[in-house]
Amino acid sequence: MTEPPDKLRQLLDAAGVARCLDEIAAAMDARWKGEEKIALVGVYRRGVPFARALAERLRARGREVDFGKIDITQYRDDLQTMTVLPKLEGSELGFDLDDAVVILCDEVIYTARTSRAALDELLDFGRPRCVQFAVLVDRAGRELPLQPDYAGIRVDLTPNERVSVRFADGDGRDEVFVRPWPQKTT
Amino acid sequence: MSITPRKDLLDIASLTNEEIEFVLANAVPFKDLFKRSVKKVPTLKGQTVLTLFYEPSTRTRSSFEVAANRLSADVTHFDIESSSVVKGESVLDTVETLESMRVDYIVVRHKQSGTPSLIAKNTRASVINAGDGWHAHPTQALLDAFTLREKFKDMRGARVLIVGDIQHSRVARSTSLIFRRLGMNVSYLAPGSMMPRETPEEVKLFGNWADALEWKPDVVYLLRVQSERMDEPFFPSAAEYHKNYGLTDARVQILRERGLWLMHPGPVNRGVEITDQGMNYEKSLINQQVENGIAVRMSVLYWLKPGAV
């Protein structure tokens, strides 16, 4: 279902998303200068196209990049309270994680509970040399002490707003917008 | 696809096609987990799974226990042999005790059909039927379907010949049903004394191997001959059963020539329903059934939720 346009507030258009991706890829390239290879791991769902877009940019810079995805559903801390269960997508890391430089990629960080689950899961695959974290949108409101190493934009929203990210790879267009999000009444 | 959790798994008949699909689809990532160095996820951390087996079954019980362990649940076995049950405690008294222990999942096997359902009605815990009488064995059916799905891109139209004591087999009942629900063609080969009185119209019935093989099955599914039946007048002797209905070496050769898959729920009676050569048959799926049993049971535990409707 598409939201009525007047309820949506655009934070980034396609050009804005592209600019953020370019900046993040450049920052990763500079940070890991001299490193033979880095690995990008997208957190399912939209962390995957985000990671893929960054991998393309890094490869265009001549850098070798491993790529993987993780589905954190089995590591969620709210499974017992969910009224609808998601189908598991499964995780795929087609490279050896031991001693790798890994950058976890997700489209948004907010409470950091997803990031915590992603980190827990990643470490069950092996022992990377280093793990960093990249997001397109860093939203204020952490419930856990985790911070991204790379972020496209930073925003502070009210609890009844939600950040939605679309990627051309899967959604048809690159865009970031804010939409109303009904809060549970207690 | 997302789905509402269910409280209990008592049989195949009450499952929707979407629920079957959900359990089978999720078993794939659970099976992928077995390749990792850490074969464990925190999905059921803090939950307690209790195995309540009124009939002995090392394999099914171990399979559930491994599945629950890999989901990080705490697993406890309620030891019937040394419990008050042998002193005459009723099933519902036992359930009341388990309620006080606040277990979250109860895996039940009982020789009486309907006991898991009775327990489910009297507990908040999720109940999984691990085999009740002649009635049902839903996780065996789900793991059988999962195993064949790994071999057939499209199961619809594929042919499965189920051989043995159909009448007294909860495996045959549940497995035959799920195969048909997934669009497969099912036939039975059994002695007259072991053929059910009533069978669905679409299930073909055979009394001998020659006719059954004429039907051109893709899969032969052997049932275990229950040892207690050997003293009952359902067939003259184990040797006679083997000769007429077992997978003899000559029949293994036919399976090999035709490239048929072979299944068996285990444990096998060597020399009765199958020979040593049959056990070494290269297209036997018996070991895969065991491995897949853990993944499918993990998927079932992921789906069920204590207290759900």
Taking 70 as the pLDDT cut, the residues of chain B under it are 82-87, 227-233
Q: Which residues of A touch B32 (CB under 8 A)?
A: 90-91
- Same domain for B279 and B147: yes
pLDDT at residue A186 in the model? 47
Nearest to B73 by CA among B309, B306, B293, B308: B306
* Interchain proximity B40–A71, CB inside 8 Å: no
Q: Hunting for tokens 């096609």 — which residue is that?
A: B17
Facing residue for A84 by CB, picked from B3, B25, B26: B3
Is B225 within a domain?
A: yes
Inside any domain, residue B12? no
Give B147 to chain A, closest Cα distance, Å: 18
* Residue B146 pLDDT: 98
Task: State which residues form the domain around B108.
Answer: 17-137+291-303
B265 is in an annotated binding site: no
| B157 and B121 fall within a common domain | no
B56 located within any domain: yes
Residue B262, SS3 per DSSP: strand
**Are B42 and A120 inside 8 Å of each other by CB?**
yes
- B142 and B257 inside one domain: yes
In chain B the first and final C-alpha atoms are separated, in Å, by 20
Interchain proximity A85–B38, CB inside 8 Å: no
Query: Rounded to the nearest 10 degrees, what angle do helices B138-149 and B170-181 cross at?
Result: 50
Provide, as residue numbers in chain A, all residues whose Cβ is less than 8 Å from the Cβ of B3: 84-85, 87
Facing B42 at nearest CB: one of A75, A87, A91? A75
Residues of chain B numbered 73-112 and touching chain A (CB < 8 Å):
none
Residues in chain A where the model's pLDDT stays below 70 = 1-6, 184-186
Residue of A nearest to B21 (CA): A87
Confirm whether B4 is domain-assigned.
no
Element holding B65 (H helix, E strand): helix B58-70
What does the pLDDT read at residue B236? 75
The pLDDT assigned to B308 comes to 87
CB contact under 8 A, B42 and A71: no
* Residues of chain A with C-beta less than 8 angstroms from the C-beta of B1: 87
Answer whether residue B35 is part of any domain: yes
Does residue B256 sit in the same domain as residue B149? yes
Looking at the structure, tell me whether residues B187 and B269 fall in a common domain: yes
Q: Specify whether B62 is located in the same domain as B202.
A: no
Query: Does B108 lie in the same domain as B184?
Result: no
Is the distance from CB of B199 to CB of B205 less than 8 angstroms? yes
**C-beta atoms of B2 and A71 within 8 A:** no
ipTM score: 0.88
Q: How far is CA A43 from the centre of its chain?
A: 6
- φ, ψ (nearest 5 deg) of residue B5: -65, 150
User: Which DSSP state fits B156?
Assistant: T
- Chain B residues in contact with A82 (beta carbon < 8 A): 5
Mention every residue, 6+ apart, whose C-beta is less than 8 A from residue B84.
Answer: B93, B94
Q: Distance (Å, rounded) from C-alpha A25 to C-alpha A1?
A: 33
Query: Nearest 5°: phi and psi at A23?
Result: -65, -40
Same domain? B88 vs B25: yes
Residues B58, B159, single domain; the answer is: no
The answer to whether the CB of B5 falls within 8 A of the CB of A80 is no
Are A122 and A112 spatial neighbours (Cβ–Cβ below 8 Å)? Answer: no
In chain B, how many domains are there?
A: 2
Q: Is residue B94 located within the same domain as residue B158?
A: no
- CA–CA min distance B156, chain A (Å): 23
Query: Is B87 labeled as ligand-binding?
Result: yes
Say what the pLDDT of residue B232 is: 67
CATH of the domain at B164: 3.40.50.1370
Name which of B2, B40, B41 is nearest A87 (Cβ-Cβ): B2
Contact B36 A90 (CB under 8 A): no
Q: Is there a single domain that holds both residue B228 and residue B276?
A: yes
Please state the pTM of the whole predicted model: 0.94
Q: What would the pLDDT profile of B40-90 be if each residue is shown by its tens digit?
A: 999 999 999 999 999 888 899 999 999 999 999 999 998 777 666 666 778
DSSP-assigned beta bridge partners for residue A138: A109, A154
Of B4, B37, B41, the CB nearest to A84: B4
What is the structure's pLDDT at B228? 66
Angle between helices B17-32 and B138-149 (to 10 degrees): 70
Flag whether B273 is in a domain: yes
**Do the annotations mark residue B224 as ligand-binding?**
yes
Residue B308, in any domain of the structure: no
- Helical spans, DSSP H, in A32-171: 47-60, 113-123, 168-171
Is residue B107 included in any domain, yes or no? yes
Beta-bridge partner residues of A124: none
Domains of chain A (ranges; CATH) run: 9-30+37-78+86-180 (3.40.50.2020)
Residue B104's closest chain A neighbor by CA? A80
DSSP class of residue B85 equals G
Alpha carbon of A121: minimum distance to chain B alpha carbons (Å): 8
Using CA atoms, how far apart are residues A55 and B304, in angstroms rounded to an integer?
38
- Residue count of chain A, please give it: 186
d(CA A149, CA A132): 6
Q: Tell me the shortest Cα–Cα distance from B104 to chain A, in angstroms.
A: 11
- The phi, psi pair for A149, rounded to 5°, reads -85, -25
Q: Looking at the structure, do residues B23 and B41 belong to the same domain, yes or no? A: yes
Encode pLDDT of A88-114 as tens digits: 999 999 999 999 999 999 999 999 999
